[in-house]
Chains A and B, each alone.
Chain A
Amino acid sequence: MERSDRSIEVELIVHAIHLKYGYDFRDYSRAAIQRRLLLRLQKEGLANLAELQHRIIHQPEFFARILTDFSINVTEMFRDPEFYQGLKGQVFPELARRRHLKVWHAGCGSGEEVFSLAILFMEAGLYQRTQFYATDINREVLARARRGEIPFKDLRKYSANYLAVGGEQSLADYLDISHGEATIRPDLLANILFSDHNLVHDQVFGEMDLILCRNVLIYFNRNLQNRVLDLFRESLTPGGYLCLGMKESLYFADPGNDLVEVVPAVSIYQRKP
Chain B
Amino acid sequence: MSNRRPDLSQPRHAVVIGTSAGGVEALSRLLAVLPASFSWPVLVVIHLDKNRQSQLARALNHRCSLPVKEADNMEPIIPGTVYLAPPNYHLLVDDTLHLALAVDDPVSFSRPSVDVLFESAADVFRENLIGVILTGANADGARGLAAVKAMGGTTIVQTPATASFRGMPEAALATGGADHVLPLAEIAPLLIRLHGAE
Contacts and interface: CB of A to CB of B under 8 A. Distances in A.
A32 B92 contact: yes
A31 B93 contact: yes
A247 B86 contact: yes
Contact of B126 (A4, A32, A225): A4
B123 A4 contact: yes
B89 A219 contact: no
A47 interface: no
B86 A1 contact: no
A3 B95 CA distance: 7
B95 A35 contact: no
Contacts of B92: 29, 31-32, 35
Contacts of B94: 29-31
B96 A30 contact: yes
Nearest to B94: A31
Interface string A1-43: 1111011000000000000000000000111101110000000
Contacts of A219: 102
Given A32-B104, A74-B105, A247 B97 contact: no
Nearest to B89: A247
B175 to A, nearest CB: 16
A247 B123 contact: no
Nearest to B99: A31
Most chain B CB atoms below 10 A, which of A29, A74, A250: A29
A141 interface: no
Contacts of B124: 1, 4, 7
Contact of B120 (A1, A35, A215): A35
Contacts of A7: 95, 123-124
Contact of B97 (A1, A6, A29, A225): A1
B123 A222 contact: no
A29 B104 CA distance: 13
Contacts of A218: 73, 101-103
A31 B103 contact: no
Given A30-B96, A72-B103, A247-B101, 19 more contacts: A1-B97, A2-B2, A4-B123, A4-B124, A7-B95, A29-B74, A30-B94, A31-B120, A32-B102, A32-B104, A34-B120, A35-B92, A74-B103, A218-B102, A219-B102, A221-B74, A222-B74, A225-B74, A247-B72
22 contacts: A1-B6, A1-B12, A1-B95, A1-B124, A3-B95, A29-B74, A29-B102, A30-B95, A31-B94, A32-B102, A34-B120, A34-B123, A35-B92, A35-B116, A35-B119, A36-B104, A74-B103, A74-B105, A247-B73, A247-B89, A250-B72, A250-B73
Interface of B: 2, 4, 6-7, 10, 12, 72-74, 86, 89, 92-97, 100-105, 116, 119-120, 123-124, 126
